[in-house]
Amino acid sequence: MTPAEDGYIVRRYVPEDRDGFLALYEEVFGKARTPEWFDWRYGGPNTDEIRMFLAEKDGQIVGAEPFISFQIRGGDETVSALQPADAMVHPEHRRNGLLTRITEAAIDYYTDNGPSFIFNFPNQAAIGAFLKLGWVEVGEVATAYRIQKPSSFLKSDRTKRFGPVADVLSSAGYRARDATTLAAARRRSDDEVTVTRHAEIPAKRLAALYESAVPPRLHAPRTKAFYDWRFGNPQWDVAAYSAKRDGEIVASIIACTQETRGITTTKILDALPMVDAEAESEAFDRMLRVAIADHEDADAIAVAEDTIPPSVLSRLNFLRNDRFPMSMVGSPTPVVTRPLVPEDEAQWTVGGQHLADRNDWRLSFAEQDTSV
């Protein structure tokens, strides 16, 4: 390929680029990633190639925008979609418009090569760049947190001195409130619900549970292949839980634990059923209590807003980051999207669900970029 006047070449990824990409990733993000992680993150059942565009200068990879490949279902229709993730430029090559060039090249290529639309979850610093390139704001996804070790979030030397006391008081308070709400839940319910921990995700059974009640809203369909791939990050500690009634699985959750910047967070990545979840609130309550007990050493437990019934989260002391007091220290995650051909009105809907309408999406962590 012929370099631009400033010497940069923008092109598609080829398999020989993997080592150079991983070196750039470590330079930019300060994290070493393995080839196994790379294959998991950018591969999977929804693509037969690594979807990525690169910027190169003098034979060195200096910028990249990889994509995660999803299937997205709305109503009775399922289409292919891309999620940009880990876009980056080497510090010595910034302010040259490389990300814009890479993104434009990717859009031009993928418009004629498969996917229907792009959706992603940029931070506030990056959202403006996407809007300039034709993305539109869908809305936000709030996250609910159960803060188990406040000391991990205290920054100043003065406040850190109170951390151990805060942890003890928080733990004692949670135990007292949890015991009270559990006793109340048992009085309310005559259900004989049993919770099982799974050493491996029971993908086939969970896929069948999903198919028994498919939501009309936009989401990644929970097939066996999806479960085998999406929760297979080699750097996650994954736990699966199911709730049974009369011997049949009626609900499930999947949790992963990872450490980021010194804070250990357990995320509830996924939950079933995705329709009328409130009807199984007691099953969710019991599964989540078991998961909390299993992850009591985590600094926090996090749940995306569309995942677990709000009544359960409230009973178990989760606080949303779009409401006080969590809004003082965090904010919801923006959602943006664009069809590959935005001028075509038909491209804005999937199965009657509109891409730009937040109410038409059901977004758990399973649909979000949760790896960094």
Q: How much is the pLDDT for 342?
A: 94
Distance CA 226, CA 207 (A): 9
Distance CA 76, CA 15 (A): 35
Which residue from 272, 282, 289 is spatially nearest to 191, judged by alpha carbons? 282
Enter the pTM of the model.
Answer: 0.90
Weakest-pLDDT range from 125-139, 184-198, 210-224, 226-240: 184-198
Peptide bond between residue 325 and the one before it cis (omega within 30 degrees of 0):
yes
158 pLDDT above the threshold of 70: no
pLDDT for 51-95, tens place per residue? 999 999 999 999 999 999 999 999 999 999 999 999 999 999 999
pLDDT for 192-231, tens place per residue? 899 999 999 999 999 999 999 999 999 999 999 999 999 9
Residue 153 — very low, low, confident or very high, per pLDDT cuts 50/70/90?
confident
pLDDT for 262-275, tens place per residue? 899 999 999 999 99
Which residue from 96, 128, 122 is spatially nearest to 10, judged by alpha carbons? 96
Coil, strand or helix: which one is 282?
A: helix
Please give the average per-residue pLDDT across 26-31, as a whole number.
96
135 pLDDT above the threshold of 50: yes
User: What are the residue ranges of helices labelled H in 267-358?
Assistant: 281-294, 310-315
Q: How much is the pLDDT for 319?
A: 97
Domains of the chain: 8-140+334-367 (3.40.630.30), 143-328 (3.40.630.30)
Residue 180 — very low, low, confident or very high, per pLDDT cuts 50/70/90?
low
pLDDT for 328-367, tens place per residue? 988 999 999 999 999 999 999 999 999 999 999 999 999 9
pLDDT for 96-106, tens place per residue? 999 999 999 99
Distance CA 142, CA 333 (A): 6
Q: How much is the pLDDT for 177?
A: 59
Query: Could you tell me which residue, 300 or 173, shows the higher pLDDT?
Result: 300
Query: Could you tell me which residue, 185 or 320, shows the higher pLDDT?
Result: 320
172 pLDDT above the threshold of 50: no
156 pLDDT above the threshold of 90: no
Strand partners, 147: 300
